[in-house]
Structure 1
Amino acid sequence: MPLLHIALRSGKPETYRQAIFDSLYRAMRETFSVPEDDQFMAMTEHEAANFRYGTSYLGVARSDDLVFVQITANNTRTLEQKKALFRRIAELLGERPGIRPEDVFVSLVEVEKENWSLGNGLAQYA
């Protein structure tokens, strides 16, 4: 049950933003075995003054098209699954909506399964 927060510079059209949602969902389905309809994502857009990044940190040449993707997920995936997810996200975002791999920044936050309530005040995974 991943929860995704996506942040990018404002000004991209709706089709671009929807392509990000679609590509991220597909990458999670393919690499993390996320069930169908398990889509919980929010996107925030930021003016240039409110969006800062290192343009060359760790030798990666980033541009103003940088997209931050923070994924909160159960701590049940292997290192190989995580690497596959990062690789597939960059591939799919490159295909649609056309984001350079250098501009795909992903952070995975892992939590214990009992730390979720998916509605009704219940701990569904506990």
Structure 2
Amino acid sequence: MPTVHVDLRRELFAEKGPAISQAIHAGLVEGLDMQPDDLFQAFRPHDEGELVFSPDFGGVDRRDLVWLRITMVHMYPPDAKQRLYAALVRHLEAAGLRRDDLLVSVVEVGFEDWYAGGPVGE
């Protein structure tokens, strides 16, 4: 059950929010073989000046910033994460974003670090 927090410009969210959401979800389903009904996203639109970033760090041509922080259980090997990144880039480019404007960070936690509703272990 990955959760995704997305920081981006307010105008970009207003223009493409639903398409970005769908692209992220498609990338997670494809890249991690995630169940299609596993959908938990939070968008945090920002005003001018609230996203501060280096336009050329890492040798890219960053003109904007769309920052995805994915929190997930530590269970995926490195090759699965690479498939995830490739799928996210492909789907987000199809939604009209530039690959150089994407920043994806994964935060991994243990199974014991989650509660997602339902019965509590007794």
Indicate the TM-score class for this superposition, using the shorter chain for normalisation: over 0.9
Alignment partner, residue 25 of structure 2? 25
Give the 3 Å change call, closer, same or farther, for CA 121–19 of structure 1 in structure 2.
same
Code of the aligned partner of 1:22: Q
Number of residues of Structure 1 aligned to a counterpart in Structure 2: 121
Could you tell me how far apart the structure 1 residues matched to 2:105 and 2:13 are? 24
Moved over 4 A (4+): none
Could you tell me how far apart the structure 2 residues matched to 1:100 and 1:21 are? 15
CA contact (8 A) 2:2 2:70 kept: yes
Note the 1:1-126 alignment, pairs <5 A: 1-12=1-12, 14=14, 16-64=16-64, 66-96=65-95, 98-120=96-118, 122=120
Code of the aligned partner of 1:9: R
CA contact (8 A) 2:13 2:45 kept: no
Could you tell me how far apart the structure 1 residues matched to 2:118 and 2:26 are? 28
Once the two structures are TM-superposed, the CA of residue 15 in structure 1 deviates from its matched residue by 5.6
| Secondary structure class of the residue paired with 2:108 | strand
Please give the per-residue CA displacement for 1:27-48, whole angstroms capped at 9, x wherever unaligned.
1111111112100000011111
- For structure 2, the 5+ residue unaligned runs are none
Once the two structures are TM-superposed, the CA of residue 86 in structure 1 deviates from its matched residue by 0.7
The normalised TM-score by structure 2 is 0.92
Could you tell me how far apart the structure 2 residues matched to 1:56 and 1:43 are? 25
Q: Could you tell which deviates more after superposition, 113-122 or 4-13?
A: 113-122
- For structure 1, the 5+ residue unaligned runs are none
The normalised TM-score by structure 1 is 0.89
Code of the aligned partner of 2:85: F
Once the two structures are TM-superposed, the CA of residue 113 in structure 1 deviates from its matched residue by 0.9
